[in-house]
Amino acid sequence: MRIKKGDKVKVITGHYKGTIGEVIAVLPKENKVVVEGVNIAKKSLKPTQANPDGGVIEKEMPIHVSNVMAYDSKAKAVSRIGYREEKGVKVRYFKKSGTTIKGGKK
């Protein structure tokens, strides 16, 4: 999977199409990612000692990785991700602009 935690992605299909957000979690066994502000579901919480009232929270749920594309903030466009070697280190880069991707895994 080429998308990593901390990457900016754009949703390309579905109800949240066009939304740009940061990847919160990656689930490689399921081929899914959790994106900030995307695929929000309401979840009921039972009352506990820490939260005696219980209640309803909104939580981001996973979406399939094929429904998102890496977003290049400088070029303001989506792009595929490739791998290349720079100074003996394997790095990811945007195929459209050729710029190296910094970050991932915060």
Q: Where are the domains of the chain?
A: 8-94
CATH number listed for the domain at residues 8-94: 2.30.30.30
- What is the residue-level pLDDT of the chain in tens, covering all 106 positions? 899 999 999 999 999 999 999 999 999 999 999 999 999 999 999 999 988 998 999 999 999 999 999 999 999 999 999 999 999 899 999 999 999 997 655 4
Q: In what helix (H) or strand (E) does residue 8 lie, and over which residues does it extend?
A: strand 8-11
Residues 10 and 22: their CA atoms lie apart, in Å, by 9
Task: Give the CA diameter of the chain.
Answer: 56
In angstroms and rounded to an integer, the radius of gyration of the C-alpha atoms of the chain is 17
